[in-house]
Every structure is written in structure tokens, then in C-alpha cells.
Amino acid sequence: MKQGYLSNYFSGVGAKRLTASEVSPNVSNQHQFQGINDFIKIFGTENRKDIPVQLVWIDDEDKTYLNTSITWTDARKKDENRSPEYRIYYKTIAEEIIYRAEPNDILVICEDKVGNFLMIITPKGSSVESQLIWLFDLFTNEKDVYAERFEGYKDPQLTFASRLILETIGVEVDETDNNYLDQILNKYGNSFPTTKEFSKFARESFPYEIDPQKNPDAAILEWIEHEEILFKTFEEYLVEKKLDKGFNDVDSFISFSLSVQNRRKSRMGYALENHLQQIFTDCDLKFTHNAITENKARPDFIFPGENKYHKEDYPKRCLNMLGVKSTCKDRWRQVLSEADKIQKKHLFTLEPGISKNQTTEMISNDLQLVLPRGLHNTYYDSQKNTLLTLAEFIELIIEKQKNC
């Protein structure tokens, strides 16, 4: 199987913008999606077909899943003189998710490699909408309906951004490399080291030369992606080993499962800080990692350092802070209260395609978003001039530290 392509996970995708008659019980309760003849590319021309689906509502704060089924049918099949009109009918049980939607929200239906279907609804203007439009290259025909199969030229190669989006919609990206497993086991045995130590191992084992001074944007993406592969390789080995050994009771199984989930959730953020700290050190920046400011807040990075921050006579214009969040969601607001002396704050993230509403709100709160250059193309053109690359942020700090 080819590695690293969208076709490894999906055979095709269909999408449409929803109308009031499809999602509002006050307008219609016919439980159907219309105007979707393009979806023939996904479901075929069979007149009536019942299809199991996993239906999911995803917005920037919440996910709700439901296993149900839909019916794909040609409503004009009995009339040979009229062209086909395909529709999707959904069950009453799906109302709890579908009735959350409003007109112009989007419906995305993905078929995986073995014929299972994931049916996603997400609000217009959300970050998830932006991410799905970018990932699947939706609505390029300037219509409100889109369908495509991932074959031949239409088979995008996965990037770091696309892997993050797949995981957002609940698709686990299976990318491991057992070529590193012996090296990991020789170094760490059968237990994970600290995140700081594992990040250092990821940098040292990275197979190519990369200069974080010349290209910090490439370095941060390459290191974090390499660490992700190493982590999943080691985790897969340890989990399989534990499953083979078995559990004494249900509580021990649940405890082990929770420990795996918690490690996954916390690790990325710490790893990102570790690699940024190394890049800032390599670039000869003066900084404090996890300094303490007002009300015992702990911003991720203070430039030129905690001591200067607390000096009464040190110019505020010479201070900078950088918050770090692998994904933002609504948590970016936490950064605003972490260093009262610094009006314009910076936030580094790996989240692709944050919505226009969110980036506009960040700007209005004097928060400057910083992302690796390789993620800027996941944003709309109108947003790109408001973003900084990591290299640009480092240059800003270098110039300020020269002049202060």
C-alpha cells in the first residue's frame, strides 16, 4: 500500500452546503438531502441503497458521534421521461445531530477504503470547515455541491497539516517506522522516557541535515513530525505487548487505556515547546522557558527573560512573549492574561486553517499568530498577511534584542 496519500484512507468524498429545508424542522421534516446528483461518484446509480454511516457533528469546541444509516435513492426512478433526481434520506434518530446545523453549514461524506462512510456536519465559518475545504479541495467548481474520487492525479499526498485534520475528524493516521524500533528499545527498554528526552532523541535520530538557524520553519515541522512517527512506533509496540500479556480485571484495562489517551493528549504540546526551545537556543536568543509572571501565570516563553521582565526600569517595548499551543480551539484566549506588561502577544501553533472569525478576533486582542511557513497555505489569502512565520518571529526578537 502506498504510504502518505489521501487514498490510503478514503476512496472518495462528497460535500454540499445545507439548506433550510434539509436541516430545519420549522421549514421541512422530510429528512432528506437534495440536489446531490454529483454524489453518484460516491454512491453509484443503484436506485435504492441503505448505507450504514457514522454521523458526526464537529465544531471548534465539540464532537458528537452517532452510528446510523441513510438511504440513497432516485426519487424519479419510476418516471422514465424525467432525468434522475437522487436524494439521501436520514432517520429520525439523526435529528439530534442534523438539527444542530443551520443553512450554509456543510455536509461532507467520506468513503473509506473498505466501503464504510463517515458523514460530517460542521458550521459555516468554523475552523473545521476551513480545514475540510482545504484537505479535500472542496467546492473548486464554485457550486454548492462537490464530489470526487481519489484516483490517479486526484490523490493528494498527505502533509503534516492534512494528518492533523484527519485526526481532528477521528481518522487515526497510521504512520510508524519499525526501522527505528530496535534503536528505541536499546535506548529506553519497555517504558517511555520524559518528553524532553524523547524530543532530544527525535532531533538526534532525524535522518537528514537541517539547520534551525537557516530554516527554523522546516526544522520545527521536520522534528515534530519525526518525533510523532517515533512515538507511534514505540507506542504501538508497547500497547501490543501489554495486550498480549492481558489484564487482571476491567479496572486495570480501563486504567491502561486512560494512561495511553492522556499521554497522547499531553505529549504534542510539550514536544513542541522542547523543539522551539532548542531552535531559540541555536539562534542565540535570550529567553526564559516557563517564566512566572503576574498571578503565578506561566507563559511558555518570555524574551529576553524572566529577570528583565520583573525589573521595574526595564523598557516594556523590549519585552516579548510567545505562547505555544499545538492546536488553538478556544484556548488561545488563555495567552492574553499571561504577561500583563506585554501588550502585543505572540502565539505559536501547528493548527491549520483557523477560521477567519478566530484570526480576526485574535488581531482585535493584539495577539499575533505565528506558524511554520509550511502551514500558511492552509489559510485563506485574506488571512496570510496577518500571519508570521517562525523565521520572521525570530528575526523580530533578534532585532529587538540588538536594540535593547
- Annotated catalytic residues are 309
CA pair distance 111, 179, nearest whole angstrom: 31
Contact between 165 and 352 under an 8 Å Cβ cutoff? The reply is: yes
What residue ranges in 132-251 does DSSP mark as E strands?
Answer: 145-149
Q: In what order do the strands lie in the sheet with 63-74?
A: 32-33, 86-90, 63-74, 48-58, 117-122, 106-112, 10-17, 145-149
Contact between 129 and 106 under an 8 Å Cβ cutoff? The reply is: yes
Q: How far is CA 126 from CA 103, 141, 355, 357, 359, in A?
A: 14, 21, 5, 8, 11
Question: Please, which residues have CB within 8 angstroms of residue 349's CB and are 6 or more apart in sequence?
Answer: 324, 325, 326, 327, 328, 332, 369, 370, 371
How many other CB atoms are found less than 10 A from the CB of residue 303? 26
CA pair distance 121, 123, nearest whole angstrom: 7
Q: Is 205 helix (H, G, I), strand (E, B) or coil?
A: helix
Instruction: Calculate the dihedral angle through the C-alpha atoms of 371, 375, 380, 383, rounding to the nearest 10 degrees.
Output: 10
Task: Give 288's strand partners.
Answer: 302
Q: How far is CA 299 from CA 108, 247, 273, 283, 295, in A?
A: 38, 41, 11, 20, 11
Burial (0-12, 13-18, 19+ Cβ within 10 Å), 89: middle
Residue type, 171: V
